[in-house]
Amino acid sequence: MSVTVLQNARVVDPSRGIDEIGTVIVEGKSILAAGAEARNQGVPEGATLIDCTGKAILPGLVDARVHIGEPGGEHRETIASASVAAAAGGVTSIVMMPDTEPVIDDVALVEFVLRTARDTAIVNVFPAAAITRGLLGREMTEFGLLREAGAVAFTEGRRTISSALVMRRAQTYARDFGAVIDHVTQDPDLSSSGVMNEGLFASWLGLPGIPREAEAIPLERDLMLARLTRGAYHAAKISTAMSAEAIARAKADGANVTAGASIASLSLNEHDVGEYRTFFRLTPPLRTEDDRLAIVEALRDGTIDILVSSHDPQDVDTKRLPFADAASGAIGLETLLGAALRLHHNRDVPLMRLVEALSTNPAKRFGLPGGTLKAGAPADLIVVDLDEPWIVREQDIRSRSKNTCFEGARLQGRVLQTMVSGRTVHQI
């Protein structure tokens, strides 16, 4: 059995509260030891030694919200191409959204994703299943069968369920099957014609806006239902101060709720739309600077549990259009860590907290292996130079689609090596 010893690294493992200079020993597919104490275990005979002086070793990132075109939209992204992009960004596990064509709403589609990932992907791929058939918000899917087949969560992808009754049933059934409802909240009526954050800047650009209340109203409803059903509920992508306040109240009430945020909501604001740049048309829309700062604070204080890339590949035909006609969404697997480390370098959020939100918490919330460097865990880890600067260039993007919010951005912190189950899947 092969043994790899990564020495003299800064080992950061939120699952054990560790941030120290130490060693990580990988034996076969698992971690044998990690941390300062691992230096005292000696080097097994025949082991491969890697000197990581000046580098950090983190648990591989777990991205809980990744849209992939396959099946039906392979020209935008396949499971294989998404996995290559993920590995380059230090993401060792992805939760794949069900809004494919056809929708992942039955056992056969869950099995298709798992089989395709096993055959073509270089990172772990976990399918999430639709809450309702066809994502139409009416008839519930077979939670028990889908869960048994391998679905790790239930979500409507980009859509919001309008019916409070359907949402109540979903939370109740998910509770009975030990699953999480992972929901994006955007009222379809309040946001129907909107394309960016409602406010003065939208008025200057002459674009219809989406008010913050479009996110908060269905979120408040869902949180009330979480209190009622005692189900596990995850607010997938909050973007406003009022949403963060609602999550904090629900947690204080003892509800089984967690919250996520897209890295774009912490890195950018509405002014980045600039001169109608369609790569910045997102859901939820980029908000005000005050809201961005509130979301950063909510991440720092633990109100927000999980950070996601919200990777949503769109091709040229859907993005090179007038802003109001362009598709919403941006890719993000390759820039997730680099953009998040801005918060570390700015001293807005401690590194331990960032890694927890990017890896440990999503693994824990969705019951996934990984997110830890403890002995016996899968050897899903990344070696990172936290200080190395790099520029995001279109020609370097590995995703099939190139619609990044960070094109030309100068980021600090680069993934040098990505290991999945003890096998190196990316290295520079």
Q: What is the pLDDT of residues 15-26, one digit of tens each?
A: 999 999 999 999
Helix (H) or strand (E) holding 31: strand 30-35
- Rounded (10°) angle between helices 241-252 and 289-300: 30
Measured in whole angstroms, the distance separating CA 135 from the mean position of its chain's CA atoms is 21
Helix (H) or strand (E) holding 384: strand 381-391
Torsions phi, psi for 227 (to 5 deg): -65, -40
- Shared-domain flag, residues 31 and 69: no
Amino acid present at 291: D
In a domain, 144, yes or no: yes
Quick one: which of 239, 259, 237, 240 has its CA closest to 248?
259
Structural domain harbouring 348: 59-365
pLDDT of 275: 87
Mark out the alpha helices in 55-194 (DSSP H runs).
79-88, 107-120, 143-149, 164-176
- Rounded (10°) angle between helices 79-88 and 107-120: 50
Quick one: which of 241, 236, 293 has its CA closest to 269?
293
Ramachandran quadrant class, 206 (left: phi over 0; alpha: psi -120 to 50; beta: rest): left
Task: Write the CATH number for 24.
Answer: 2.30.40.10
Q: Which residues of the chain have pLDDT under 50?
A: none
Mark out the alpha helices in 42-123 (DSSP H runs).
79-88, 107-120
- Shared-domain flag, residues 38 and 164: no
In a domain, 372, yes or no: no
In a domain, 370, yes or no: no
- Shared-domain flag, residues 144 and 37: no
List the beta bridge partners of residue 232.
180
pTM, two decimals, is 0.96
Quick one: which of 207, 243, 238, 223 has its CA closest to 322?
207
Quick one: which of 56, 48, 49 has its CA closest to 13?
56
- Shared-domain flag, residues 220 and 133: yes
In a domain, 139, yes or no: yes
- Shared-domain flag, residues 49 and 135: no
pLDDT of 49: 93
- Overall number of domains in the chain: 2
In a domain, 67, yes or no: yes
Task: Write the CATH number for 253.
Answer: 3.20.20.140
**Would you tell me how many other CB atoms lie within 10 Å of the CB of residue 377?**
19
Quick one: which of 399, 417, 369, 332 has its CA closest to 126?
369
pLDDT of 110: 98
pLDDT of 40: 78
Burial class (CB in 10 A: 0-12, 13-18, 19+), 87: buried
- Shared-domain flag, residues 251 and 286: yes
Cα separation, 142 vs 197, whole angstroms: 36
In a domain, 108, yes or no: yes
- Shared-domain flag, residues 162 and 43: no
pLDDT of 377: 97
Burial class (CB in 10 A: 0-12, 13-18, 19+), 410: exposed
